Amino acid sequence: KNEVEQSPQNLTAQEGEFITINCSYSVGISALHWLQQHPGGGIVSLFMLSSGKKKHGRLIATINIQEKHSSLHITASHPRDSAVYICASIAGAGSYQLTFGKGTKLSVIP
Amino acid sequence: DTGVSQNPRHKITKRGQNVTFRCDPISEHNRLYWYRQTLGQGPEFLTYFQNEAQLEKSRLLSDRFSAERPKGSFSTLEIQRTEQGDSAMYLCCTGAVVGYTFGSGTRLTVV
């Protein structure tokens, strides 16, 4: 059974700081998804990646398949980045269902 | 606008009542998933449709839960004889090769 672990669980940062959120998973996967969830529940897809690195604006996601580890980085953090960030692994076959971590709650203080 | 629409956004119901949620997916996405999220936890898989066929169900989906996706379009999730433990956010997600898209969820409160 695949388990997805995120760290830290909670993170408070000053505006402008560089932020890193980590995600580890226990079995081989086909891809990994980083998601953002704001209060109220809506989930927004940030990245889906199966190797290497992806960048979108101030967000960077990396994955190391051999080490079963992924990181989400936020450069020049801003209060509007405050949200819960969730990583989810994608099974390699079958239903391609997502297995989610518990999320990292990020608060960026002005 | 995420492209996946869920209704209602919020539902408060008395214990023992039946409730039904609806998900309208992105039309090109043939995979549709239901997840349940309780406070402080990541979403948990409930069930999966490939077009109109329900191909996988989690053991979390007790016999009080039923899901349908007639004609492979919208999907409904019904909970019969609701219990307080059913209180959660119910998320619909559709998938394609390019990725997954989530609805805004239906927050159920059973009182």
Contact A96 B45 (CB under 8 A): no
Task: Give residue B79's pLDDT band: very low, low, confident or very high (50, 70, 90).
Answer: very high
Mean of pLDDT values over B86-100 = 88
Q: What is the pLDDT of residue A93?
A: 65
Question: According to the model, what pLDDT value does residue A72 have?
Answer: 98
Q: What is the pLDDT of residues B3-23, one digit of tens each?
A: 899 999 999 999 999 999 999
Percent of chain B having pLDDT more than 90?
73
Q: How confident is the model at residue B1 (pLDDT cuts 50, 70, 90)?
A: very low
Of B41, B89, B91, the CB nearest to A102: B41
Report residue A92's pLDDT band, with 50, 70 and 90 as the boundaries. Answer: low
Are the Cβ atoms of A95 and B56 closer than 8 angstroms? yes
The answer to whether the CB atoms of B2 and A97 lie below 8 A apart is: no
The alpha carbons of chain A give a radius of gyration, in whole angstroms, of 13
- Provide the shortest C-alpha distance from residue B89 to chain A (in Å): 7
Mean pLDDT of A55-78: 96
Q: What is the mean pLDDT of chain B?
A: 91
- Report which DSSP code applies to B51: T
Q: In Å, how far are A2, A43, A104, B88, B91 from A40, measured between CA atoms?
A: 28, 9, 16, 12, 12
A window 31-60, beta carbon within 8 A of B: 33, 35, 40-45, 48
Q: In A, which residues are within 8 Å of B56 by CB distance?
A: 94-95, 97
| Closest alpha carbon within chain A to B96 | A96
